[in-house]
Amino acid sequence: MQTELIQEARRQAEICNACRYCEGYCSVFPALHANRAFSDADITQLANLCHNCRGCYYACQYTAPHEFDLNLPKALAEVRQASWEDYAWPQPVARVFHKSGAALAVATILGFALIFAAIRALPEPTGQGFYAVMSHSAMVAIFLPAFLFPLMSLAVSLRRYWRAMGGGVVTVSAIKSAFGSAARMQNLSGGHGDGCNFEDEDRFSQARRHAHHAVMYGFVLCFLSTSSGTVLHYVFDMPAPYGFWSLPKLFGVPGGILMVIGALGLAGLKLQADPKLGDASAWGGEMGFNLLLFFVAATGLALYWLGASTAMPALLALHLGSVLAFFLLTPFTKMAHGFYRLAALMRDAER
């Protein structure tokens, strides 16, 4: 990790540790105040606990033009981004991706090309619905490796992070505490419970917390949709297409709507927020990832509503291409931050 980023974050953490004005703001400050000195691992752990809500910055009396020039959200954001690059596997891909959000667009286009190439190369499908355009076996052949790769990559990355943070065997209570905090987005509510100041220094808001909730629970519902469809296909011999009152649709349609709302909300809040309070080099990648989330959900919903029309083959290719890009890029995008934050919350619960 870049030494200068760690050193600057350590300088600011030491000043915060002496001040303690923000003690109740989020999980960062109790963890920070538990230390007298900060190792590189301590700073990295604090960075991954931080949700960049920015309330501490706007409350701080030592920001510029004060000579201390504190900007803790920015310092921790830069360390956090660097840690994701350092622990990612394969590391070179993460470094290239974080330099430019354009990688998302390139990966999506590549996904489209692979889908179209598979359609032309494979025998003519004979199924119904989507399977009349692309066979089930072709979809499995393409998406199974794309699903397994991010799982393996994230497992290696998180293992590196956990070992670097000095984590041991995770206790049940630490797991419950971390998942409980993540489920409520507790650290985006502010120490007072009124929200944070991400998009406006003078106004407390729960908007970012709610947008994160929409994306998270929308993604969970979409995952349940895919899982239930898999069970229906392989266990009960009930292949797609499914009606609206089936589990895949009852999970998938609300999930897609929540993801669209959440992704647009996060992108809008990002546009309103001050870029100088985060890692400016990662801004394009973060916005690109929000747009990719939106595209995956929006094309899925369009495919549902227009699945019986002549537009279905083109929409299917667009949707599958975006999903393929999403899965392959997951370990290197902002999506990975959820897993790192969960690990950081578990480590903090152990503390």
**Looking at residue 153, what is its pLDDT?**
93
pLDDT band, residue 75 (cuts 50/70/90): very high
Residue-wise pLDDT for 172-202, tens only, equals: 999 999 999 888 888 887 666 777 888 777 7
**Looking at residue 282, what is its pLDDT?**
79
Q: Which residue has the higher pLDDT, 157 or 139?
A: 157
Residue that is written with structure tokens 């000043």 in the block? 15
pLDDT band, residue 104 (cuts 50/70/90): low
DSSP readout, 107-175?
HHHHHHHHHHHHHHHSPPP--SGGGGTS-HHHHHHHHHHHHHHHHHHHHHHHHHHHHHTT--SPPHHHH
HSE-up of residue 69 (Cα within 13 Å, Cβ side): 5
48-62, 72-86, 131-145: lowest mean pLDDT where?
131-145
Distance CA 211, CA 272 (A): 14
Residue-wise pLDDT for 286-295, tens only, equals: 887 888 889 8
Ranges of each domain in the chain? 3-85, 89-350
The yes-or-no verdict on residue 10 having pLDDT over 80 is yes
Determine the 3-state secondary structure of 340 from DSSP. helix
Predicted TM-score (pTM) of the model is 0.87
Distance CA 47, CA 159 (A): 17
Distance CA 311, CA 313 (A): 6
Q: Mean pLDDT of all residues in the chain? A: 85
Is the C-alpha dihedral spanning 66, 68, 73, 78 positive or negative? Answer: positive
Residue-wise pLDDT for 305-336, tens only, equals: 887 788 787 788 888 888 888 888 888 888 88
- Supply 232's token pair: 């229906």
Mean per-residue pLDDT, 16-32: 88
DSSP readout, 57-89?
HHH-SSSTTSTT---HHHHHHHHHHHHHHHH-S
Determine the 3-state secondary structure of 330 from DSSP. helix
Highest-confidence segment of 14-23, 95-104, 110-119, 249-258? 249-258
Which residues on adjacent β-strands are paired with residue 196? 205
